[in-house]
Every structure is written in structure tokens, then in C-alpha cells.
């Protein structure tokens, strides 16, 4: 039996506003419990919600960035259920008339082809609070700081056909929301969460199989693993004669398995109806146009431009454009040096990223600025130092030892390009290794590497490798 | 249309209301009467009528994105029956 | 003239002339309450000390030339309005222990205008009722006949004003809860246009129907108070940004040429014959003042009560979900688990009528029933609003009775919810359409007062007040005082 996997993703991204969607309390992360929960967030008697302007702006930006329709009229609805982290006993969300509809984005599938994934809708809603279950004896503790934080729930069409595609889609959404500045996408802090709806069906069957929903996946890795586990689980279940139950499941990353959630939302009738405390949100065409005009260059367009304008490899362009800040850094460096853009790309994707990851830093906190890196790459380009030495210089720069020139000067790392100086060292090496010389002359060409190594050793790596090669070959053939 | 006890129990559960046996009996009676009464609505011809959600034909006003609420946790928690370390307590929930 | 018999207009004149101080007035009314409220049970909380302090401050402000529109005037707030530092119970055991940390906008504005708050009025629990019999604090008696209900849900507000405990009381109206008790107690009750007065701090019953208003003895006093209460509030998304007219300044204008609509469907067998006579007489008085009458048709008006009893419970079932004992309000003891905590806190905290409406609401919103009930009701609501709009093409106000009968005996209607609901038959339409409406005393039937009901177009409160005031210049029903409370 050949199986096809059908996946739809629901991504909840917290919008990076200063205040909550319906109240003026702060959304800042990490505050003491309930110090950022005002009366509206606490669901006190008599209080009322008032909509945050910036939330509408951000939703509109997202809609335009994914080629969707930004609804001229959308309505908030109440989703009614009881849970301690939901103080009003209902969540203000959007149901029949969401603010964004019918969008799309493009990922690269397993075969390397561009694939379109539809976005059914994106709607606004308020986040719930948090529950703490440990350390309180027979109680759970409720912190409502997060209650009322604006969320944009982005729902994909069930167009995704594998865990890898799911991750690619999720990464794309992650990149877009960060590009737009509408979310920091911080999965550890919970500002970017993913639910995956997974089902399987025999290849060729039109009808969808029963789906299970895996909730609250907060890393790309977990999304991939959870989906893979679930797909296998479902296939095994069906092949053993069982039926997939429509239910909510959680992913246990320790055991790498999904399991059924206790009946939190079992048999819940949400009784959606339009929220009578809020009026329909109307968005004028000229507002949409003004939002469109201020959209930044989006990842796909930027990636394309990098390939065309800088003539760098597509894969590098893809990596460089994951983050708008990294892309900007790259362009700053490329603009400040005559070194080849591909070299710049290699360095940003390679050494720089490595250093940032090692120190757990974002590009904005890089210890080597774009100008400084440009300075270093210029010195490779003009042959002052070799690429290999440059790595050493970079390390020193990262450690705070100054600019490229300063480090080169201080450590005396200038490349040796004086032919007679190199010749002298080559002569020395040839004299010291008669055995290898004989073998080389006898035909063991690969030994050139050994000689180059010896010369580099003698010159602390500072001899220009190209010249060393040239001179060695000349002397060894003579 | 009459409601039966099962339906009333389901509704009471949805609404998180604990009712005594007597209250159930009363509720079945009275809710059935009310539902019967409102069933009159089915008589109205409402084809093509847009449901009214608000008496006003106005759009939602937007407020600027500013933090205007300071921390008043202690004052607000004076009304709570059970608080520890600033957290509102409920019987332990297992997820 | 005894202080308690004075209207706000008269009190203001006296305060201005220095005939007495606000402290004098306040003390006199507090004494009255202490003496008489045991009979009526109109108040849940009396805020004597705070009132005297506010009165003293008001006197000082007046002396300094800073007198606001309500300076030194005692008022009572329906216990549905949040009052900071003061118990706010909403007539319910659920909030018996609740001290509000903030003031409702209405309370803030009236305080800023110099009002002196004597206390919080008794009311039907969570504003659900038409007789003030569902209150956790016991029923309110009608000063006109202690065995009768004063109406509801603002029964305490109406009884307080009728008994001369205060010249004005704030109240709220979702299906008639200001106007019906006003009619049954010989007072003036006005429900403004939806969105005219802020709902911030007013504990929500049915959000798309609730409006705050006032109960007074004269239309002139109503104009004064409404002028302070009304106005845009950015904390309420349903608050409308429309300028507030000078109600008090405009009540003196003539109603000559005013077109008064009489609803064909109103004067049928549902209306007590004697009431019909009195209301028709009242309309004749309007005609004598220059108004003209014409019959209008509200073809869907008979569906207004069933429509209301789908929409209001639906909204309230959701609005009352926040009452779960976790952050405030009644909390059940020794809960076994979360489900038990919720079910018992709410089961214990809410009375029967409230539970009934919550369940009705949950039912009409539930899967499978939403279309047939809630959606359908909102469509019928649109039809009713359309009926009014068409009628108002030909008339300026619609006149009729406020209630089908005068005050009924306490205990009479508690067994059958539908009979109780039908009390609101004339008033509910205005809530569904969001229109302003007023009830004005227009006579007595079996020694009990009844009211003339006037409905206006959106934001036409001035027309209603003017009409009521002119009527009150020609008649003296509103001057009558219940025997035991003279």
C-alpha cells in the first residue's frame, strides 16, 4: 500500500506590539506573575475591550506579504470554553470573517522544485495566560500576564505532503514575520507556536483520511520529528486494521512520540457568536495601499536579487536572506569591499555565522561589524594575507583585538609575496628533504602538498600559497 | 419543543452549573417553556435579511499601541480567594 | 419645603441661594433612608460617611465657584455600577464579597460633576428580572403598595426615588429595566440611545442591549443627569462619538408640530383597559400642546419578546462565564477539582433566574441550534429595527403604554417565566433597535401609577425630554407622592 501524507499547519505568532490587543497592559516578556494583567485582561466585571491599531496594521502587512486578501470588513467572535488561563471564559477570536484570506507562499520541495502552499486564512485573536503546575502542592497557579497578547493565527491549506515540506513552510512563515517586524518569532519564549494537522490516505484516493492534531510544537526539529512519528503511527494503526481517531495529541520530545491529550477540549462546543462588545473592523483601500507601499523587500525577492545582482550561489542567497538583518549585513560588507561577493557570502555564511552561533549572538550583536569584515576581506582580495591567515585575523578581531589592519600589523601576519624570500625558503625545504624530492621527481606528484606544507610551516603560514606553489614546481622540475 | 433531562444536563455542564435534582426538574420544565415560547421566531420570514449584530452601523475604533496600565497586582488580588506568589490558584490541572 | 421633596432643580436653586447646604440635604436623606428603607429594602449598601464627606467637599467647591452640574446633589447608583472601594454586588451572592477596584465611567462623571452618592440600589440579580424579586438581598417593595413589586430590574433605584430617598438614581435598561419600574413607581425613567452612555464599569448582562440611564421625578432632572452621564468614552468600543446636546437647555422648547405615532398593535387585549384609557388621555394632552397623532404599524413587534429572550440570554451566558471564583467573587469551598470548583462556585453563587438564562443562552448558541435560534433572532431583530425606521419616516416619537398593567403583587408571577417576560412587551422593541425611550407618569389605575412610553429616533433624547417636560408642565401626576413617604 502506498501512502500519501496530508498536512495542514496552524501557526500562532505573537504580534510584537507594546500593548495588548484589547487593553493597554504591557506585552513585555518575563515580568513577575500578574504584574502585566490589567482589569480588562483579568476579565473583571464591567470592563470592555478596545482594539489596538498596530495589530490591524501588522495583520495587513502579513496579508499583503503572502499575496492574500486583506478583508475590508472583519468581525471578532467569542470562542466560549472554560479554562483557568482564559479569564473571561471566552477567547476573543475571529471566526466567519477573518482579517486575511486566501494567501500563498512558495517553498522548495524535496526535488528542488518550487511548490506553492496555500494559506487559507489568518485571523486575530487574544492569547491566554499560563498555568504552572509544579511546586504548588495540590494546586495549579495561573499567571495572566500573557492573557490578551495579540496573536495572528495563520492557517495553511492541507497542501503539505511531508514533514520536510512542513518545516520549510514553517521556516518561511517564520522568516516573513520577522522580515515584516511583526513578530520576533522567538519559539523558546512562546511567541511562535505551531499545531500540525496530520492525516494519511492511500495514494490516489481523493478523500482525506481522519486527521489528528498535534499541538504546541515549538521548534522546527520537533515539528519534523512529531509529524514523522505521527505518520508512522497512523499508517501502522490502519494497516493493523484500526482507525485513526480525530483528536488532539501532544508531542513528547523526550520519548519522541505523540500521545493523546487528556480531554481538555473533548466535546467542546465553542458556541461562536460575534462579540457584541466590539464592532466590525473596517479597512479602507487606501490604508491597504499605504501598507503595501511601506512593505520591505520580501525574502523571495531579495533572494532572487542577490543571485542576479551579486552573482552568488542560490543556496548562499537563500541562507543570507533568512534574516533581514543578516541580508543587510551582507550587503553592507559587499558594498564596502572590492572583494568578490561570493567571497563575502562564504565568509558571512561560514566564519561569521559560526562565531555568532558559538557565542549565541544575533547578527545585531556581532563583534565584528560589517565595515570591519569588509576591511578583512579587502586584505584577502589585495593579497596582503591569504584566506587561511584571514581566519586567524578574524578570530583576533572577534576577540576585540582591533581592525584587520591592526591585527595584521600587531601579529606580523602580512603575506610574504617577495619572490626571493620565498625562493630562499623553498631552497631550504628542498635541501632538507632529499628523499621526498627524489620521490617527487620519480612521479609522486601528490607530494607537492607536503612541500607546500613545509614552506608554510617555515613562514608561519604567511607565504603566498600561489607563489609558493609556482616556485616549488619550478624548482622541483629543474 | 420540550427539552429532556439529558439535554439540560449537557447544557448545565457546558455552562459549568451544578444543579440539584430539584433544580434539574424545575429547569427541564421552565427551559422547555422558554424554548417553546421562542420557537415562535420560526414563523417569521427572514429570507435575505442580514442578521443584526449591533444596533449601530459604526465601525470599530482603533486605539494607539501604548502601554497605559501600570502594575496594580496587589490591589486587584485583594478580591481573589486564593493567591500564592502572585499566582491565582485553582485545583491542580493535569494536561 | 422639606428637602426630600425637592427636585434637583429646586435643590440646586436652594444650594445656590445658601438656603441650605449639601451636608444638610445629605444628612436629611440619610436619616430618611435609615428610617424607611427597612420597609422597602431598596438599598443594598448605604455609604453614609463617604456621602457626608463628598457633601462637605461639594459645599466647599460651590463656595469656591467650582460647582459642577450635579454639585451637592445626592444620588443613588444601581448596584450594577462598579464603585471603587465600595461593595458592588449586582444583586447577587456571586458578588456579595466583591469590592470594586475601579469606578464605572458613569460614576466617575457624576462624581466629577459634584454628585453625592448615598448608596447602592437593590436590583434583580445581574439585571435579570422585571420585579426585583430575583435579588440575593430580597425583593424590593413598591412605596405605593408594599405588597407590590416596584418592577425591575432597577426596582431599588425606582423605589428610592419614589420614596424620596434621593432625587435621582442611576439605572440600567436591557429590555425595559429603567422604564418599567419608573412606570410602576410614578417616576420618570429614560433609556438613552445605544452607545450614548458608556458601558464601561457597568456589569454586563446583554452587551448589545444594555444601556445606562436615570430615574428621577421630573423630566427636567432627567435632562440634568443625562447631560452629565452621556458622552463618548474611549474605554467602550460601542460608545458613539456624537456631541451631547444641552438637554436641560432644550427642554423648554414647544412640541407644537411634533408628530406622534400610535402603534396599532399596542392597544389590544394584552393591555389593561384602564391603562389604555389613561395612556390615551396622556396622548390627548400632547395633542393639546400642538402635537399631531397618526397610526403607525410595527408588523413584527409581537416577535420582540421572543427575539429578546434569545439574544439577551445568549449574550449573558457568555458575559457571565467570567464568574468562576478564581479571581474574584464567590468561590466554593473544598473543591475536588477544577470542574467542581467551577460548577459549585457558579451553582452556589447564581440564583435560579440567572442560571435559567445562562442555560437558555448556552442552548441557543449551541451547535445545531445556532442557526434556528440565535441567527434567526438577529434577523428578526433587524426586521424590528427596520419597522421602526419605516415608522419614523412619518413620525418623530412613538407613544404608547409602558406596561400592560400597573404594579403586580410580589410573588404573583414568579412561577411562570413567560408571564414575567411579557411585562416587557412595550419596552423591548426600543432595546432591540437601540432607540432612546422614556417613561413618564400619566395617571393612576386602582391607586397604582402607570406610565406613558415615548420612543424616539437615534440620539433624539432631547426630543423625548422636551416632550416629557412639556407634558409635566400640563399635568401633575409626577408630583403625587406615596402616602407613607410624604
CB of C362 less than 8 A from some CB of A: yes
CA pair distance C348, C340, nearest whole angstrom: 11
Least Cα separation, residue C207 to chain B (angstroms) = 9
Q: Note whether B66 contacts A35, CB cutoff 8 Å.
A: no
Query: Predicted confidence band at C16 (pLDDT cuts at 50, 70, 90)?
Result: very high
Report the half-sphere exposure of A36 (CA within 13 A, side-chain side): 20
pLDDT tens digits along A135-185 = 888 999 999 999 999 999 999 999 999 999 999 999 999 999 999 999 999
Residue A250 confidence (pLDDT): 92
Which of B68, B93, B94 would you mutate first to test chain A, the one with the most A CBs within 10 A?
A: B93
Other CB atoms within 10 A of residue A25 CB: 28
Give the lowest-confidence range in A237-246, C136-145, C206-215: A237-246
In this complex, which of C303, C327, C364 lies closest to B40 when CB atoms are compared? Answer: C303
CB of C57 less than 8 A from some CB of A: no
User: H-helix or E-strand containing B33?
Assistant: helix B21-38
In this complex, which of C200, C206, C314 lies closest to A46 when CB atoms are compared? Answer: C200
Q: Note whether C95 contacts A88, CB cutoff 8 Å.
A: no
pLDDT tens digits along C241-300 = 999 999 999 999 999 999 999 998 888 878 889 999 999 999 999 999 999 999 999 999
Q: For residue C47, with 0-12 CB atoms within 10 Å meaning exposed, 13-18 middle and 19 or more buried, which class applies? A: buried
Q: What is the pLDDT of chain A when averaged over all its residues?
A: 93
Residue B1 confidence (pLDDT): 62
Inter-residue contact C127 to C219 (CB < 8 Å): no
What residues of chain B lie within 8 A of the CB of C356, using their CB? Answer: 27, 30-31, 34
Average pLDDT over residues A463-475: 87
- For chain C positions 141-200, those within 8 Å of chain B (CB to CB) are 194-195
Res. C239: pLDDT tops 60:
yes
What residues of chain A lie within 8 A of the CB of B54, using their CB? Answer: 276, 279
Query: Predicted confidence band at A267 (pLDDT cuts at 50, 70, 90)?
Result: low
Q: Note whether A39 contacts C101, CB cutoff 8 Å.
A: yes
Least Cα separation, residue B88 to chain A (angstroms) = 5
Res. A292: pLDDT tops 70:
yes
Inter-residue contact B91 to A140 (CB < 8 Å): yes
Query: Predicted confidence band at A111 (pLDDT cuts at 50, 70, 90)?
Result: confident
Quickly tell me which residue has 464605572 as its cell.
C104
Query: Predicted confidence band at C132 (pLDDT cuts at 50, 70, 90)?
Result: very high
pLDDT tens digits along A183-206 = 999 999 999 999 999 999 999 999
CB of B25 less than 8 A from some CB of A: no
Quickly tell me which residue has 484516493 as its cell.
A205
pLDDT tens digits along A328-345 = 999 999 999 999 999 999
Which of C380, C385, C416, C418 would you mutate first to test chain B, the one with the most B CBs within 10 A?
A: C380
Least Cα separation, residue A101 to chain B (angstroms) = 20
C-alpha cell, A230: 505521527
In this complex, which of A49, A271, A277 lies closest to C362 when CB atoms are compared? Answer: A271
Domains of chain A, CATH where assigned: 3-290 (no CATH), 297-411 (no CATH), 419-477 (1.10.10.410)
Residue C475 confidence (pLDDT): 97
Residue A478 confidence (pLDDT): 67
Beta-ladder partners of C452: C401, C440
Residue A106 confidence (pLDDT): 95
pTM, entire model: 0.92
Q: How many residues does chain B have?
A: 95
pLDDT tens digits along A405-463 = 999 988 888 888 888 888 999 899 889 999 988 898 888 888 888 988 999 898 888 88
pLDDT tens digits along C87-100 = 999 999 999 999 99
Residue B38 confidence (pLDDT): 93
CB of A474 less than 8 A from some CB of C: no
Query: Predicted confidence band at C415 (pLDDT cuts at 50, 70, 90)?
Result: confident
Residue A261 confidence (pLDDT): 80
Chain A residue with the nearest C-alpha to that of B69: A25
CB of C318 less than 8 A from some CB of B: no
What amino acid positions of C are annotated as catalytic residues? 78, 153, 177
In this complex, which of C238, C306, C321 lies closest to B41 when CB atoms are compared? Answer: C306
Q: Note whether B81 contacts C325, CB cutoff 8 Å.
A: yes
Residue B84, classed as helix, strand or coil, is strand
Average pLDDT over residues B2-17: 93
CB of B37 less than 8 A from some CB of A: no
Res. A262: pLDDT tops 80:
no
Other CB atoms within 10 A of residue A194 CB: 27
Residue A266 confidence (pLDDT): 55
Residue C214 confidence (pLDDT): 98
Domain C3-260+394-485 classification at class level: alpha beta
Res. A264: pLDDT tops 60:
no
pLDDT tens digits along C104-127 = 999 999 999 999 999 999 999 999
Inter-residue contact A42 to A25 (CB < 8 Å): no
Other CB atoms within 10 A of residue B1 CB: 8
pLDDT tens digits along C150-168 = 999 999 999 999 999 999 9
Res. A265: pLDDT tops 90:
no
Which of B53, B65, B90 would you mutate first to test chain A, the one with the most A CBs within 10 A?
A: B65
Please state the domain extents for chain C.
3-260+394-485
Bigger pLDDT: A430 or A286?
A: A286
Inter-residue contact C448 to C184 (CB < 8 Å): yes
pLDDT tens digits along C316-375 = 999 999 999 999 999 999 999 999 999 999 999 999 999 999 999 999 999 889 999 999
- Closest C-alpha to C74, from C134, C149, C4: C4
φ, ψ of residue C173 to 5 degrees: the values are -140, 120
C-alpha cell, C383: 426586521
Cα-Cα-Cα-Cα torsion C11, C441, C176, C77, nearest 10 degrees, comes to 20
User: What is the percent of chain C with per-residue pLDDT over 90, rounded to a whole number?
Assistant: 93
Residue B53, classed as helix, strand or coil, is coil
3-class SS string, chain A: CCEEEEEEEEEEEECCCCECCCCCCECCCCCCCCCCCCHHHHCCCCCCCCEEHHHHHHHHHHHHHCCCEECCEECEEEEECCCCCCCCCEEEEECCCCCEEEEEEEEECCCCCEEEEEEEEEEEEECCCEEECCCCCCEEEEECCCCCCEEEEEEECCCECCHHHHHHHHHHHHHHHHHCCCCCCCCCCCCEEEEEEEEEEECCCCCCCCCEEEEEECCHHHHHHHHHHHHHHHHHHHHCCCCCCCCEEEEECCCCEEEECCCCCCCCCCCCEECCCCCCEECCHHHHHHHHHCCCCCHHHHHHHHHHHHCCCHHHHHHHCCCHHHHHHHHHHHHHCCCCHHHHHHHHHHHHHHHHHHHCCCHHHCCCCHHHHHHHHHHHHCCCCCHHHHHHHHHHHHCCCCCHHHHHHHHCCCCECCHHHHHHHHHHHHHHCHHHHHHHHCCCHHHHHHHHHHHHHHCCCCECHHHHHHHHHHHHHC
Average pLDDT over residues C59-88: 97
Amino acid at each position: 500500500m502506498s501512502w500519501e501524507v496530508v498536512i495542514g499547519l496552524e501557526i500562532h505568532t505573537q504580534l510584537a506590539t507594546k500593548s495588548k490587543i484589547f487593553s493597554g497592559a504591557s506585552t513585555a516578556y518575563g515580568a513577575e506573575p500578574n504584574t502585566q494583567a490589567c482589569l480588562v485582561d483579568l476579565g473583571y466585571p464591567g470592563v470592555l475591550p478596545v482594539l489596538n491599531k498596530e495589530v490591524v496594521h501588522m495583520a495587513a502587512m502579513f496579508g499583503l506579504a503572502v499575496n492574500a486578501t486583506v478583508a475590508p470588513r472583519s468581525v471578532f467572535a467569542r470562542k466560549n470554553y472554560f479554562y483557568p488561563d482564559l479569564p473571561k471564559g471566552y477567547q476573543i477570536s475571529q471566526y466567519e470573517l477573518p482579517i486575511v484570506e486566501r494567501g500563498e507562499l512558495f517553498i522548495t520541495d524535496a526535488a528542488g522544485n518550487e511548490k506553492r502552499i496555500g494559506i487559507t486564512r489568518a485571523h486575530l485573536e487574544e492569547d491566554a495566560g499560563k498555568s504552572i503546575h509544579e511546586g504548588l502542592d495540590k494546586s495549579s497557579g495561573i499567571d495572566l500576564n500573557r492573557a490578551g497578547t495579540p496573536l495572528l493565527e495563520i492557517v495553511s491549506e492541507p497542501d503539505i505532503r511531508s514533514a520536510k515540506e512542513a518545516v520549510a513552510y514553517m521556516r518561511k512563515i517564520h522568516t516573513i514575520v520577522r522580515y515584516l517586524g511583526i513578530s520576533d518569532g522567538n519559539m523558546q519564549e512562546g511567541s511562535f507556536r505551531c499545531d500540525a494537522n496530520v492525516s494519511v490516505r492511500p495514494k490516489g484516493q481523493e478523500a482525506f483520511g481522519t486527521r489528528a492534531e498535534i499541538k504546541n510544537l515549538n521548534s522546527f526539529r520537533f515539528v519534523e520529528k512529531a509529524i514523522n512519528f505521527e505518520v508512522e503511527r497512523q499508517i501502522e494503526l490502519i494497516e493493523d486494521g484500526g482507525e485513526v481517531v480525530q483528536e488532539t495529541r501532544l508531542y513528547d520530545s523526550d520519548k519522541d512520540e505523540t500521545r493523546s491529550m487528556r480531554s481538555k477540549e473533548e466535546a467542546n462546543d465553542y458556541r461562536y457568536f460575534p462579540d457584541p462588545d466590539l464592532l466590525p473592523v473596517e479597512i479602507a483601500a487606501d490604508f491597504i495601499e499605504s501598507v503595501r507601499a511601506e512593505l520591505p523587500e520580501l525574502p523571495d525577492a531579495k533572494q532572487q536579487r542577490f543571485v542576479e545582482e551579486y552573482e552568488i550561489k542560490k543556496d548562499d542567497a537563500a541562507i543570507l536572506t533568512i534574516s533581514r538583518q543578516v541580508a543587510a549585513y551582507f550587503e553592507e560588507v559587499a558594498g564596502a569591499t572590492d572583494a568578490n561577493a561570493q567571497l563575502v557570502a562564504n565568509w558571512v555564511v561560514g566564519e561569521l555565522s559560526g562565531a555568532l552561533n558559538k557565542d549565541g549572538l544575533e547578527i545585531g550583536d556581532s563583534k565584528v561589524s560589517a565595515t570591519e569584515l569588509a576591511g578583512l576581506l579587502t586584505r584577502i582580495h589585495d593579497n596582503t594575507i591569504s584566506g587561511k591567515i584571514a581566519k586567524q585575523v578574524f578570530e583576533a578581531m572577534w576577540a576585540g583585538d582591533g581592525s584587520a589592519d591592526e591585527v595584521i600589523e600587531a601579529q606580523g601576519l602580512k603575506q610574504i609575496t617577495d619572490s626571493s624570500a620565498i625562493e630562499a625558503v623553498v631552497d631550504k625545504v628542498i635541501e632538507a628533504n632529499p628523499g621526498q624530492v627524489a620521490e617527487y621527481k620519480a612521479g609522486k606528484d601528490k607530494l607537492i602538498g607536503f612541500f607546500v606544507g613545509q614552506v608554510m610551516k617555515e613562514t608561519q603560514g604567511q607565504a603566498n600559497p600561489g607563489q609558493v606553489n609556482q616556485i616549488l614546481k619550478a624548482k622541483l622540475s629543474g | 419543543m420540550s427539552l429532556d433531562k439529558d439535554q439540560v444536563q449537557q447544557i448545565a455542564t457546558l455552562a459549568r452549573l451544578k444543579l440539584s435534582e430539584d433544580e434539574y426538574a424545575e429547569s427541564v420544565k421552565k427551559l422547555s417553556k422558554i424554548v417553546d415560547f421562542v420557537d415562535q421566531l420560526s414563523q417569521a420570514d427572514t429570507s435575505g435579511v442580514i442578521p443584526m449584530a449591533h444596533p449601530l452601523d459604526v465601525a470599530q475604533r482603533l486605539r494607539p499601541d501604548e502601554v497605559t496600565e501600570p502594575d496594580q497586582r496587589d490591589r486587584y488580588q485583594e478580591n481573589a480567594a486564593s493567591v500564592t506568589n502572585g499566582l491565582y490558584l485553582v485545583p491542580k490541572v493535569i494536561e | 419645603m422639606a428637602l426630600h421633596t425637592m427636585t434637583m432643580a429646586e435643590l440646586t436653586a436652594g444650594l445656590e441661594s445658601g438656603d441650605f447646604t449639601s451636608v444638610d440635604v445629605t444628612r436629611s436623606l440619610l436619616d430618611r433612608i435609615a428610617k424607611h428603607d427597612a420597609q422597602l429594602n431598596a438599598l443594598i449598601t448605604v455609604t453614609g460617611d463617604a456621602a457626608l464627606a463628598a457633601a462637605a467637599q461639594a459645599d466647599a467647591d460651590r463656595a469656591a465657584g467650582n460647582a459642577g452640574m450635579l454639585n451637592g446633589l445626592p444620588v443613588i447608583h444601581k448596584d450594577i455600577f462598579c464603585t471603587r472601594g465600595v461593595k458592588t454586588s449586582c444583586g447577587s451572592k456571586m458578588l456579595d464579597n466583591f469590592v470594586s477596584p475601579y469606578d464605572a465611567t458613569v460614576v466617575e462623571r457624576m462624581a466629577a460633576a459634584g454628585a453625592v452618592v448615598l448608596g447602592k440600589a437593590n436590583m434583580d440579580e445581574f439585571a435579570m428580572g422585571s420585579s426585583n424579586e430575583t435579588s440575593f438581598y430580597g425583593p424590593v417593595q413598591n412605596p405605593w403598595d408594599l405588597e407590590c413589586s416596584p418592577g425591575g430590574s432597577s426596582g431599588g433605584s425606582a423605589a428610592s426615588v419614589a420614596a424620596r430617598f434621593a432625587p435621582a438614581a442611576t439605572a440600567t435598561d436591557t429590555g425595559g429595566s429603567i422604564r418599567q419600574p419608573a412606570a410602576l413607581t410614578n417616576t420618570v425613567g429614560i433609556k438613552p440611545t445605544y452607545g450614548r452612555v458608556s458601558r464601561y464599569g457597568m456589569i454586563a448582562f446583554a452587551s448589545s442591549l444594555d444601556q445606562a440611564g436615570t430615574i428621577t421625578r421630573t423630566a427636567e432632572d432627567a435632562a440634568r443627569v443625562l447631560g452629565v452621564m452621556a458622552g463618548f468614552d474611549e474605554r467602550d468600543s460601542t460608545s458613539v462619538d456624537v456631541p451631547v446636546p444641552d438637554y436641560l437647555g432644550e427642554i423648554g422648547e414647544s412640541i407644537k408640530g411634533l408628530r406622534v405615532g400610535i402603534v396599532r398593535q399596542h392597544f389590544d387585549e394584552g393591555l389593561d383597559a384602564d391603562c389604555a384609557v389613561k395612556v390615551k388621555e396622556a396622548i390627548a394632552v400632547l395633542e393639546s400642546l400642538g402635537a399631531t397623532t397618526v397610526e403607525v404599524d410595527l408588523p413584527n413587534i409581537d416577535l420582540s419578546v421572543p427575539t429578546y429572550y434569545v439574544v439577551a440570554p445568549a449574550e449573558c451566558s457568555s458575559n457571565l462565564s467570567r464568574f468562576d471564583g478564581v479571581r474574584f467573587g464567590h468561590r466554593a469551598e473544598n473543591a475536588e477539582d477544577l470542574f467542581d470548583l467551577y460548577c459549585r462556585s457558579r451553582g452556589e453563587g447564581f440564583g435560579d433566574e440567572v442560571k435559567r438564562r445562562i442555560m437558555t443562552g448556552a442552548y441557543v448558541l449551541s451547535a445545531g441550534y445556532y442557526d434556528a435560534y440565535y441567527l434567526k433572532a438577529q434577523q428578526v431583530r433587524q426586521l424590528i429595527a427596520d419597522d421602526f425606521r419605516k415608522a419614523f419616516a412619518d413620525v418623530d416619537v412613538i407613544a404608547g403604554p409602558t406596561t400592560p398593567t400597573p404594579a403586580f403583587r410580589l410573588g404573583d408571577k414568579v412561577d411562570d417565566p413567560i408571564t414575567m417576560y411579557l411585562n416587557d412587551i412595550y419596552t423591548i422593541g426600543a432595546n432591540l433597535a437601540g432607540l432612546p425611550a422614556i417613561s413618564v407618569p400619566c395617571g393612576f389605575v386602582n391607586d397604582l401609577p402607570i406610565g406613558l412610553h415615548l420612543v424616539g429616533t437615534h440620539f433624539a433624547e432631547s426630543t423625548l425630554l422636551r416632550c416629557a417636560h412639556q407634558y409635566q408642565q400640563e399635568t401633575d401626576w409626577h408630583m403625587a407622592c406615596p402616602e407613607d413617604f410624604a
